Amino acid sequence: MSEPLLTYGLRLLGLLTRELPRGLQTSCGVGIGRVLTRLDSSRYAITRDNVRKAFPEAQPNVVDEIVRSAYGNLGITLIELLAMSHASKQDILARIAIPGIDVLERRAARGEPSVLMSGHYGNWELLALAGALMAKVPFTIVVHPQHNAKADKFLNAIRTRFGNIIVPMGQAARPLVTAMQKGGTVAFLADQYADPLVNRPVVFFGRETPTFEAPAALALRYKAPMFAAYAQRQSDGTYVAPFHEIPSADLDASAEGIAELTRRHVLDLEDIIRAEPGQWSWQHRRWRT
């Protein structure tokens, strides 16, 4: 699909769904997810293979349900992100509770840097927008740019509506260091495959896979706490994302300390995925060997 056509389609989809009640938005998202399962058969095969390998004991019907839910979650997240292009701050904050995030507001007020971790779980887009609003501090967020430049620009305009800063992966080193030096807040979705030449493997669902070490390196280098939160969808379409710290006080900025903190936040993510596997995006190639 051409770049202008895809961007136009996203804008149109947002216009058609943004005024819908929450329940209908969810239903539309599930429908979008079903369409996505048919648009890319190779991606669908990767998704099923990932789920089977992560849960080797699961019966075929359980695998099917996780895959369906994961695609439904992807569609819901897209619909809700598009709706956020015109949603007010009050509407966004009404959709999610982030208990414990007040600690971030206090750190930002004192000019102390923080590192935030999450994953492609539940509605991670809502988490970033609402979290920054609640903490009254912009997040500097590392993202993987979309191949479609126009669609990427359109989506980033939504993500930065209330002051968040988007930095593309591969160009993030200097902005992240600057943010930490200034006592800012940096945020990562560190659940994708990392370059094995510069990142060591970490065990994730029983298999080693290269994992980004930059979040742990920044946290330990600047003696900043690492926090994590995951926007878990509730039955009424709202979200809850308990804000909690990944323990790191016993670690230093050595290679071993960075590896251990990376292992800890990966295990934290795995625990939440195991609790609700259908809310994680199994579509990407997290394991490649």
| Residues 146-181: tens digit of each pLDDT | 777 888 898 999 999 999 999 998 888 999 999 999
Q: Which of 28, 51, 83 is the last residue of a domain?
A: 83
| Single-letter residue type at 166 | I
Say if residue 118 is in the same domain as residue 209: yes
Token output for 264: 């800890």
Give domain status of residue 88, yes or no.
Answer: no
pTM of this prediction exceeds 0.75: yes
What are the residues facing 233 on neighbouring strands? 239
Position 1 scores a pLDDT of: 52
**289 pLDDT exceeds 80?**
no
Q: Which of 54, 83, 112 is the last residue of a domain?
A: 83
DSSP 136-195: TS-EEEEE---SSHHHHHHHHHHHTTTS-EEEETTS-HHHHHHHHHTT-EEEEE--S---
Say if residue 6 is in the same domain as residue 122: no
Q: Where are the alpha helices (DSSP H) in the chain?
A: 3-17, 22-39, 41-54, 60-83, 89-94, 102-109, 124-135, 149-159, 173-181, 214-221, 255-275
Position 82 scores a pLDDT of: 92
Residue 21 contacts by C-beta under 8 Å, 6 or more apart in sequence? none
Number of domains, the chain: 2
Say if residue 34 is in the same domain as residue 10: yes
Position 115 scores a pLDDT of: 98
Full domain range(s) for residue 214:
95-279
Give domain status of residue 65, yes or no.
Answer: yes
Say if residue 132 is in the same domain as residue 273: yes
| Single-letter residue type at 196 | P
**What is the per-residue pLDDT across 80-110, written as a single tens digit (0 to 9) for each?**
999 998 899 999 999 999 999 999 999 999 9
Say if residue 187 is in the same domain as residue 123: yes
Give domain status of residue 285, yes or no.
Answer: no
Biggest CA–CA distance in the chain, Å, is: 52
Cα 94 from chain centre: 20
Give domain status of residue 289, yes or no.
Answer: no
Q: Which of 83, 118, 139 is the last residue of a domain?
A: 83
* Spatial contact of 280 and 70, defined as CB atoms under 8 Å apart: yes
* C-alpha to C-alpha distance for 85 and 222, rounded to whole angstroms: 34
* Spatial contact of 139 and 124, defined as CB atoms under 8 Å apart: no
Between strands 232-233 and 239-240, the pairing is antiparallel
